[in-house]
Structure 1
């Protein structure tokens, strides 16, 4: 009797032929080809499904593929439903790709040269795109949807629906569509950071008012988000962190909340938080309605904070704002890739970073490796030893704006709907979910 693996390979070999509606199975190796079948009554809505299945081993790799005509320069919405069985790392095994091609099936290029990064000044090839394919619960139907712009020279789009690297796995794809849609409106946001050492006064309550004039200046320049320093009510007091601690929400968040409401913007302020007997190094996000949107408790603690009795946080919250999703990290967090990566995985498009001091190369790395905007506010004199700056870092890790002098701010405008296409890699942020390795088990 033939083994299940052999039977699956034999079935997969027969599946080279085109199925209904132009879908064809593809695999780089016959011996690693999943079994392919269709169901006329399956799928999310009972109107049909494309099925891939594997046997023993993790060598499997293959996809359903279909090529459709497109008009260069237009936007298209990829939409599909998928249901997958339990597998070790579903996000790496089940995903979709879109390849932009000319009329001969060859790759095309984008229109503009790369502004930064690798091969700056050369026009990037339109690398494969990775629509958003959420994990979801095993054996449940999950909707996948993304809007993509076709390069000007594109004449067709090749859709690929993958199953790979999972033993005894099954995925069904259904209701797959790729339709022209209106171009999405830009999501422009003005990001600002304040470069200030709040030296005046020896009491925590003396510190927040020192930021008020600069917040007003940021508002005059139409800032949407303003980032302030770390543990700002502790800076320069000569007191212990415990003596400067307060509830969050509390007096400082109430003060900054009033400024946020007055100027109709978001403010991130670094504070020492007390909850009962526990102290945290916390970043608080205040919204334009004056309320506390949320807070982040610093997860990685340097020795000085451990010795001061600070407790680490455990979560990586990401908050919805009027312009997009915002995450926060604090100072020492920047030395570790896990924090910014966790925020990005949860959807952060902007990371606010109150930071006493850090290596700016790490700020650039966190921004670059996650394709996320980072807004830092530091107490370090940026002119000395090329150390930490108060600035805004873009998806390439480059500094878009920087505050040179204490008592000033830096501000810049970005479009959160504009993808960053790297030479060789394409839109790297879209690939993180399916390409990043599994986390280490402790």
Structure 2
């Protein structure tokens, strides 16, 4: 695995993380994605992270999803679907991460994300960790891999993936300097609080974002859906987090863009100057 620093310093990067609502209407979703790309471009963003399931929406029910009912599932898109090509064309010079339901060659469905620019597909990820209800609708992905992009080495996680420290650590060990976390993260289903800021899942969403950045001393861009779909009410709370776990920009629960400009190499070098978590690991003492 690659834990070395970058070969040469890059200019400061403006990162935009999205909080927005998406549903089953693919034409509407594409139009909203294109609008958000233009808003991010006006803000000078080189990286835009859209939510999980931005193309086609998420599941309306995690407790009892019904895979036999097509209306309860998002449309499954082939990896080379024209919508992804249209997002890439709109991205142009920008790197854009977007979530969708991917149709596998054997008919399996995956909760997936793709990173694109005007040059095409830069990287892909299939969600590995599936919560209890979601595993009835999707097959799990097989692993975590970072990939090179015009804005540096990037890794992607899809919502529940970030609950597990090994997910982000795998990407950091593979050289990722920025983690894009795409979510359709709802409020607590079993114990919903009267206010969003009192909700258990709201607290965990922020905790995981800050912890995964600080543990690995990387930049993390966290997107999320807003609004409601079926019985699901989404948190929003998009944010950009620095390598010390400090929140550089956030949307709170409202829709919008969390935008921060970060000198990625300088910030990571500074964070690792005295305590370098990746190089100071003792993997020989850890249980597999």
Question: The TM-score by the shorter chain falls in which range?
Answer: 0.7 to 0.9
- Alpha-carbon distance between aligned partners in 2 of 1:379 and 1:322, rounded to the nearest angstrom: 26
Match status 1:210 vs 2:32: yes
Q: 1:388 offset after TM fit, Å?
A: 5.9
Q: 1:207 offset after TM fit, Å?
A: 1.4
Unaligned stretches of 5+ residues in structure 1 = 1-90, 92-131, 135-144, 148-183, 382-386
Indicate which of 291, 295, 299 corresponds to 2:124: 295
Indicate which of 15, 33, 55 corresponds to 1:191: 15
Match status 1:345 vs 2:173: yes
Report if aligned partners of 1:214, 1:407 keep a CA contact under 8 Å in 2.
Answer: no
Scaled by the length of structure 2, the TM-score of the pair is: 0.78
Unaligned stretches of 5+ residues in structure 2 = 61-70, 186-200, 228-234
| Greater relative contact order (CA < 8 Å, ≥ 6 in sequence) | 2
Match status 1:248 vs 2:79: yes
Distance of aligned partners of 1:233 and 1:421 in 2 relative to their CA distance in 1, 3 Å threshold:
closer
Q: What corresponds to 1:231 in structure 2? A: 53
- Alpha-carbon distance between aligned partners in 2 of 1:367 and 1:344, rounded to the nearest angstrom: 10
Give the secondary structure class of the aligned counterpart of 2:77. Answer: coil
Indicate which of 214, 218, 240 corresponds to 1:392: 240
Q: 1:234 offset after TM fit, Å?
A: 3.1
Q: What corresponds to 1:379 in structure 2? A: 225
Q: 1:436 offset after TM fit, Å?
A: 3.8
Distance of aligned partners of 1:431 and 1:297 in 2 relative to their CA distance in 1, 3 Å threshold:
same
RMSD: 2.8
- Alpha-carbon distance between aligned partners in 1 of 2:170 and 2:158, rounded to the nearest angstrom: 14
Report if aligned partners of 1:281, 1:298 keep a CA contact under 8 Å in 2.
Answer: yes
Match status 1:413 vs 2:264: no
Report if aligned partners of 1:364, 1:398 keep a CA contact under 8 Å in 2.
Answer: yes
Q: 1:323 offset after TM fit, Å?
A: 2.2
Q: 1:194 offset after TM fit, Å?
A: 1.5
Distance of aligned partners of 1:356 and 1:246 in 2 relative to their CA distance in 1, 3 Å threshold:
same
Which structure shows the bigger proportion of residues in strand conformation? 1
Give the secondary structure class of the aligned counterpart of 2:100. Answer: strand
Q: 1:362 offset after TM fit, Å?
A: 1.0
Distance of aligned partners of 1:278 and 1:440 in 2 relative to their CA distance in 1, 3 Å threshold:
farther
- Alpha-carbon distance between aligned partners in 1 of 2:6 and 2:117, rounded to the nearest angstrom: 28
- Greater CA deviation, 206-215 or 326-335? 206-215
Match status 1:354 vs 2:182: yes
Match status 1:274 vs 2:274: no
Q: 1:421 offset after TM fit, Å?
A: 4.2
Q: What corresponds to 1:403 in structure 2? A: 251
Which structure shows the bigger proportion of residues in helix conformation? 2
Match status 1:318 vs 2:166: no
Q: What corresponds to 2:287 in structure 1? A: 440
- Alpha-carbon distance between aligned partners in 1 of 2:214 and 2:27, rounded to the nearest angstrom: 37
Scaled by the length of structure 1, the TM-score of the pair is: 0.52
- Alpha-carbon distance between aligned partners in 2 of 1:427 and 1:220, rounded to the nearest angstrom: 37
